[in-house]
Amino acid sequence: MVQRVWKLLDILEETSRFFAARGLENARLQAELLLAAVLDIKRLDLYLQFERPLHTEEVDVYRDYVRQRVQRVPVQYILGATAFRELELTVTPAVLIPRPETEVLVDVALELLPTGGRALDLCCGSGAIALSLKRELAEVAVVATDISQAALAVARANGASCELEIEWLSGDLFAAVEGDFDLVVSNPPYVKSGDLDRLEPEVRDHEPRLALDGGADGLDCYRRIAHQASDHIRPGGYLLLEVGDGQSAEVEKLLAEVGRFAEVETKPDLNEVPRVVVARASST
Ligand SMILES: C[S@@+](CC[C@H](N)C(=O)[O-])C[C@H]1O[C@@H](n2cnc3c(N)ncnc32)[C@H](O)[C@@H]1O
C-alpha cells in the first residue's frame, strides 16, 4: 500500500482538530510546538513551509508526540526541555516543570542577594532557581538541595549543560546543609493533599507527587522551614518563599510566630497574586 505523503499544513490542521476534539486547550498552538520540535525549526518558521512534504520518520515521531499529548503528558516532558529565564533546562517526570511565577521569585532574590553572597535553594527540583541565580549574579556561591535523588540527577545534568557550578546536596530540607547564607530561597510543595486529585491531568498524573503534596493544609514544608531557616541565615539576611494562591497570610503568620524575623512581607507575581513571602532575619 502506498503511504500518504503528508504536507506540513495538512498534518497541523488534522492534529489541531484531533486535539480540540479531545478537549485540549490551545489545540493549534500545541500541534505547532510539537511539530516544530520534530522538524527542529522555530514555531513561526512553520508558517514559511506549509507545503513542505514530511518524511515518514518525521511523521512517525510526530504521531508518537501527539499520542503522548492526548494522554495529557505535558509538552515539556514530551520534548524533555523547557525555558526558564535565560536557561534551557532538561525536564523529566522526576522534576516539576518550572513555572513562570517562579521567575518572579528569582527577580526578588536577585534584588536582595549581595554580590559575592552565598545563597541556598531549598527543594531545588530541576535546579531552575539555583542555576538562574548563578547565571545572573556575578560571584555568587549557590548551594542547592532536594530530597529526591532522581530530581537531583536532573539538576546536576542541568548544571553541567549550562556550565554553572552549584553545590548539589541530597537531603530532607536543611539536613545536608552546612554553614549560613545571605539568602535562602524555596519553592516547596504546597498543594493540599485533598486537592491533588482535582488538579489538571497534566499535573496530577505526570508531575511528581513529592513536588506537589504539601500535606493536609498545604503548609507542612513552610512550617518546618519557618522553624529551621533562621539557623542558616546570616543576621539581616533573607528567606524567600514562593506560596500558592491564598497561602501568603498563613505563611507570613508562621514566620512571625517564630519570632526570629524582623520584617515579613509578600510581593505579588505578574498577575498581582501575592506570591513571594520575604522575611528578613533579625540583626542580632
Ligand atoms: C514545587 S517543587 C519545586 C522545584 C523547583 N525549585 C522549581 O521551582 O521549579 C518542590 C521540590 O521539593 C522537593 N521536596 C519535597 N519535599 C522535600 C523535603 N522534605 N526536603 C527537600 N526537598 C523536598 C521535591 O522533590 C521537589 O523537587
Domain with CATH 3.40.50.150 in the chain: 92-281
* Contact status, residue 94 vs residue 151, Cβ threshold 8 Å: yes
What is residue 168's predicted lDDT score, i.e. its pLDDT? 98
Mean of the per-residue pLDDT values of the chain:
97
CA–CA separation, 278 and 186 (whole Å): 11
The residue whose C-alpha atom lies closest to atom 17 belonging to ligand 1 is: 147
Please state the rounded mean pLDDT for residues 86-115.
97
Asked if residue 160 has pLDDT above 70, the reply is yes
Question: Is the Cβ–Cβ distance between 149 and 97 less than 8 Å?
Answer: no
Backbone angles phi, psi at 87, to 5 degrees: -110, 150
Task: Reply yes or no on domain 8-71 having CATH 3.20.170.
Answer: no
Mutate to test the pocket of ligand 1, among 82, 146, 185 (most ligand atoms within 8 A of CB): 146
For residue 138, the model assigns a pLDDT of 82
Q: How far apart are CA 127 and CA 95, in angstroms?
A: 9
Query: Which residue type sits at 114?
Result: P
Say if residue 1's pLDDT is above 70: no
Residues 6+ positions from 30 with CB-CB distance below 8 Å: 19, 24, 69, 75
Query: DSSP strand E in 133-242: where?
Result: 141-146, 167-170, 181-186, 233-242
pLDDT at 247: 98
The pLDDT value given to residue 3: 77
For 92-281, give the CATH class: alpha beta
Distance 26 CA to ligand 1 centre (A): 29
* pLDDT tens-place string over residues 19-77: 999 999 999 999 999 999 999 999 999 999 999 999 999 999 999 999 999 999 999 99
Provide, rounded to the nearest whole percent, the portion of the chain with pLDDT above 90.
97
Q: Per residue in 232-253, pLDDT tens?
A: 999 999 999 999 999 999 999 9
What is the chain's length? 284
Tens digits of per-residue pLDDT, 257-277?
A: 999 999 999 999 999 999 999
pLDDT of the residue at 200: 96
Cα-to-centroid distance, 189 and ligand 1 (Å): 6
Tell me which residues have their CB closer than 6 angstroms to ligand 1: 95-96, 98, 102, 123-126, 128-129, 146-148, 151, 172-173, 187-189, 210-211
Cα 81 from Cα 96, distance rounded (Å) = 12
The confidence score (pLDDT) of residue 283 equals 84
Amino acid identity, position 80: G
Name the segment(s) of the chain with CATH classification 1.10.8: 8-71
Kindly tell me if the per-residue pLDDT of 153 is higher than 90: yes
Ligand 1 pocket test, pick from 89, 91, 99, 147 with the greatest ligand atom count within 8 Å of Cβ, gives 147
Q: Provide the pairing of β-strand 81-84 with 233-242.
A: unpaired
**Is 90 exceeded by the pLDDT of residue 284?**
no
For the chain, the farthest-separated pair of C-alpha atoms sits apart, in whole angstroms, at 80
Q: Please give the pLDDT value at position 213.
A: 98
Residue 121 CA, closest ligand 1 atom number: 6
* CA pair distance 129, 238, nearest whole angstrom: 15
Phi, psi of 275 (to 5 degrees): -135, -35
- Strand spans (E) along the chain: 81-84, 87-90, 118-122, 141-146, 167-170, 181-186, 233-242, 261-268, 274-281
Ligand 1 atom at minimum distance from 105 CA? 8
